[in-house]
Chains A and B, each alone.
Chain A
Amino acid sequence: MTSTARSAFVDGACAVLPALPANVPFGLVVGVAAANLGLDPVTALWSAALLFAGAAQLAMMELLARDAPVAVAVLTAIVVNLRYAMYSASIAPYLQSFSRRSRLVLSFFLLDVTYALSVAKFRADGSVDRRAYYFGTALPLWATWTVSVTAGASLGTGLPPAWHLEFAIPLLFLALLVPNVRDRGGVVAAAAGGVGATAGLGVPFDLGLVIAALAGVGLGLVADPDGTDDEPPADRPDETPDGTTEGEP
C-alpha cells in the first residue's frame, strides 16, 4: 500500500468509527435471533459475514422461524436488499477507473454506511484514493458486524424473555425507516407497505411482505413519480436514505 493509500484508508476508518457502536446492539439482536432459530455460532458467523445485511438477515430469519418456504425467505432477503441497487447506480461513476476485479470486491461491501460516507468524501475530495478510503469505511464495519452477530449467537437463548429483546428488532427497522420517508411518495410507499404486510400475514407461502413491498413501491410511484426534487441521487449524497453516520449492514 502506498502512503497516500494508507492515509486514505485511515481517513475512511476514522469516518466510520462513530457508526460502529450502533451496529453492536443490532448485531447482538441478529445473533440472538440466529440462536433462537437453532443456528450454532459458527453458522451465524458465516451467514453474517457472507450476507453483510442486517435487515435482510433478520427478515429472512423471522420467516424461517415460522417455517415459511425457504425460497420465500431468500426472496424476501433479496427484496429487502434491493435498495443497494440504488447505491450501486449512484456510486458506480466514482469507481469506473478501477479494474473489474477491484470493483467486484468493492461491491461486496456496499451498504448504507459505506455508500453514504464514501460518496460524500468522493464529491468533496477529488484526489483521494477512493478504493483505499472505501475499504477503510467497509472493513471495520464488516468486522464489527460479524463479531457482534457471533457474540449474540454465543449468548444464545439464555437471555430472559422478560427483557422482551425481540422488540429491539422492529425498533431497529423503525430507526432505518424514518429517514427514508422523505416525501409524499415515501409516505405512501411506507403506509402501503406497512398496512399491506399486516393485512397479508395470512397470505399463502408467507409472500405477504414481498407483495406488500412491491405494492408500496407501485403506489408510491403513482402518488409521487418525481419525488420532491428532480436531481438524480448521485448529485445529492447528503440526502441518501442514510445521510448520517448511523446505519446498518
Chain B
Amino acid sequence: MTSASDPVLWAAFVAAAVGSYLVRVSFIVLFQRVDEVPRLAERALELVPAAVLAGLVLPSLVAPEGTVAVLTPKVAAGGVATVVAWRTESMAWTLAAGMGALWLLLAV
C-alpha cells in the first residue's frame, strides 16, 4: 500500500506516461537530424538498459528486505535464473527456472 492519494497516483502515472512518450517521440518527430546524434550520446543510450536493469535486479536479490544478505535462497535462485537467461534468452524459461529453484530451495 502507499500513502499517496488516488489523484496523486493518477497524476504520477500520467506524468510518467508523458515523459516516456517524449522519450519515444524524441528522434521520430522532435529531432529531425538523426544523423547528427553524437556517437558518444548513442553509446550512452546503449548502456542505459544494462545499468538500469541491473540496478533493479541486484537489490531485489541480495537485499529484498533492505539489508544485504548473500547466502539466501533468493540469491541462489537468481543465480540459476541468470544462467538460464544467458543460455536461452527466453523470458518464460528464466521465469520458470528462477521460480522453480526458489520453491525447491524453500522446500528443502
Contact = CB atoms under 8 A, between A and B. Distances in A.
Interface string A43-68: 10011001111011111100011010
Given A38-B2, A43-B9, A108 B24 contact: yes
Contacts of B1: 36-38, 65
A194 B58 contact: yes
A136 B15 CA distance: 27
Contacts, number: 291
B42 A197 contact: no
Interface residues of A, number: 102
A74 to B, nearest CB: 5
Given A70-B4, A92-B27, A107-B28, A25 B13 contact: no
Interface string B32-76: 001001011011111111111111111111111010100000100
Interface in A165-212: 166-181, 185-187, 189-198, 201, 208-209, 212
Contacts of B95: 25, 168, 171-172, 175
11 contacts: A36-B1, A43-B6, A82-B45, A88-B24, A106-B28, A164-B99, A170-B78, A189-B47, A194-B59, A216-B51, A217-B51
Interface of B: 1-4, 6, 8-17, 19-21, 23-29, 34, 37, 39-40, 42-64, 66, 68, 74, 77-78, 81-82, 85-86, 89-92, 94-95, 98-99, 102-103, 106
Interface of A: 21-22, 25-26, 36-39, 43, 46-47, 50-53, 55-60, 64-65, 67, 70, 73-74, 77-89, 91-93, 95, 100, 103-104, 106-108, 110, 164, 166-181, 185-187, 189-198, 201, 208-209, 212-217, 220-221, 225-227, 232-233, 241, 244, 246-248
